[in-house]
Amino acid sequence: MSDTTQVNGSSNIPLHVGIIMDGNGRWAQKRGLVRTAGHKEGLESAKRIVKACADLGIKYVTLYTFSTENWKRAQEEVGYLMGLIRGHLRAEFDFYKANGIRIEHIGDLAGLPKDVQDEIVKAKEETSHFTGLTCVLAINYGGRDEIVRSVKKLLKNSTSEITEKSISDNFDVPELPDVDFLIRTGGEKRLSNFLLWHSAYAELCFTDTLWPDYSVEEFKNNIEDFSRRTRRFGDVLNK
């Protein structure tokens, strides 16, 4: 891509990076802290990586912020996470503006507390004119849930044929491109219901680093590794 910043001489930068930010709770427990301390530190890591994406010329980054399954966690932790999301969206406008970052949301918005819904809508509106990186926050998100909600929209419109395009056209952010590179921190090696449709041909990266310790340097090394990979999308080389 000619409009991207090079990493160690390579211009093969992913258009869309998806990140499963795993390991906040374990990071805190290793230090004898409550789990919520890990989430607070994880927010700082997210800001560093989002800034790095903007600097590298990556156009889309999707952060797995709160899944449809995360409601199963302790009420105290869920409440803290909702407050962290709400407060972050309210407080970080200057950060978005300075870096030209547009905020988008994927997930079941109606299933979130009203005050969180309002902050998400406000953040989207206030950053809609920014033309740099699009930071997509997956909040109350599940890959299966997004597909189901899309099909339900189609079924309400009896004139719409069910095709891959019509399903993706009814996703939360229809213009969101497929994931090129999916990174998961924290040592686990699974997708956990994250961007299942969009990640059909994503290159995968799993690191043992807990999310609060995930540095810009490691992120750039991971991007450099991506740039060396050959993507075939089901085709063969040297036909």
Length, in residues, of the chain: 239
Dihedral (C-alpha) 83, 86, 88, 94: value to the nearest 10 degrees? -150
Annotated catalytic residue within 70, 99, 193, 221 = 70
Find out whether 179 and 112 touch, Cβ atoms under 8 Å.
Answer: no
pLDDT of residue 9: 46
pLDDT digits 0-9 by tens, 98-138: 999 999 999 999 999 999 999 999 999 999 999 999 999 99
pLDDT of residue 4: 41
Q: Which of 91, 113, 12, 109 is nearest to 47 (CA)?
A: 91
Residues of the chain with pLDDT below 70 are 1-11, 236-239
Other C-beta atoms closer than 10 Å to the C-beta of 34 total 14
H or E element at residue 45: helix 35-56
Q: Which of 96, 104, 105, 80 is nearest to 47 (CA)?
A: 96
pLDDT of residue 230: 85
Q: Which of 91, 96, 105 is nearest to 127 (CA)?
A: 96
Other C-beta atoms closer than 10 Å to the C-beta of 234 total 6
Other C-beta atoms closer than 10 Å to the C-beta of 190 total 10
pLDDT of residue 160: 74
Pairing mode, if any, of strands 16-20 and 134-141?
Answer: unpaired
Distance CA 7, CA 47 (A): 20
pLDDT of residue 206: 98
Distance CA 107, CA 172 (A): 7
Q: Which domains does the chain have, with CATH numbers?
A: 16-227 (3.40.1180.10)
* Catalytic residue check, 70: yes
* Catalytic residue check, 22: yes
Annotated catalytic residue within 22, 145, 172, 180 = 22
Percent of the chain scored above 90 by pLDDT?
86
User: Model pTM?
Assistant: 0.92
pLDDT of residue 7: 56
